[in-house]
Amino acid sequence: MTDIFQQAQVVANYGSLVTVAMEDGSLLSCKCKKKSLRPLCGDWISIQFTKQQEWLVDSIAPRKSLLTRHSYQKTERPLAANITQMIVVNAPEPGFDLQLTDHYLIAAKSIPVQAALLINKLDLATSPWQETFSLYEQIGYPVIGTSCKAGDGMKSLADLLHNQTSILVGKSGVGKSSLIKKLLPDLEIRIGALSSASGEGKHTTTTTTLYRLPDQQGSIIDSPGVRQFGLWDYSPEELLRGFVEFGSQETQCKFSDCKHHKEPGCAIRKAVDDGRIAQSRYKHYLQLLLNQSAR
């Protein structure tokens, strides 16, 4: 009997074991053939059924995108591969975090993938959330509002997810898993199937997990919540590209290598003073720039 090879997609990673989805939607648990193979959620891989009656990860297809997070300790942690869209989730409880939002938008630009903002738990909002996030709409990012409790905005979210491989990101408590549960009525069945296939017991939100949307009209990845999304290894140029509204102004700076901090004739600072660039976004840019310089 010769070994059998098939293609599959990684839907969850448990260290040396990965759970994969086959073409027909069935789930399998696979071991990594080599220690050098480290498949991520979203990876397309070749798996091998051996004479020992087990599935092994044989190879990983080239990735179209890779999202990596850096911790406080400045260690690198790859999160997901082959995403096409990042959706940054905020909520009035535990509170809006615009700095974390900007960090994710910089990461999306560097991958690069398209990005959108989602404001969840609208039923808990005590002030107009549109005022807080209007600046992002003005610079070109889609912004939608949802409430899992009331069911508001779910059609807009479904439209945003259509034919995309989207990852939901944001800090703990913003309701990412609740949104997925609302989108996928059979989520508990899927979670049970994942737990059964992996042999890892109860599945938790500490694992980055991919779910295929109904009728194969895209996929959605649920990622663990974070308090910080570090950008330790980003260059000043990469940081700058993440602030998309700067692009139309920076060519007008007096010096071509302007860092938009204290240099004379800076068009970015003038645009901030004139109200054409939001003070909050410029402040976040400056904090990141100075942190990078202090490394």
- Across the range 264-275, mean pLDDT stands at 95
- Across the range 148-175, mean pLDDT stands at 94
| Domains detected in the chain | 4-60 (2.40.50.140), 66-222 (3.40.50.300), 236-293 (1.10.40.50)
Q: What mean pLDDT, rounded, does the chain reach?
A: 88
List CB contacts of 11: < 8 A, sequence separation 6 or more: 19, 20, 21, 27, 41, 194, 209, 210, 211
Instruction: Quote the DSSP letter at residue 174.
Output: S
pTM of the shown model:
0.90
Q: For residue 72, is pLDDT > 80? A: no
Tell me how many degrees the CA angle 11-87-192 measures, rounded to the nearest 5.
Answer: 30
Q: Nearest 5°: phi and psi at 4? A: -105, 135
Q: For residue 200, is pLDDT > 70? A: no
User: What's residue 15's pLDDT?
Assistant: 80
List CB contacts of 73: < 8 A, sequence separation 6 or more: none
Task: Pick left, alpha or beta for residue 151 (phi over 0 → left; psi -120 to 50 → alpha; otherwise beta).
Answer: left
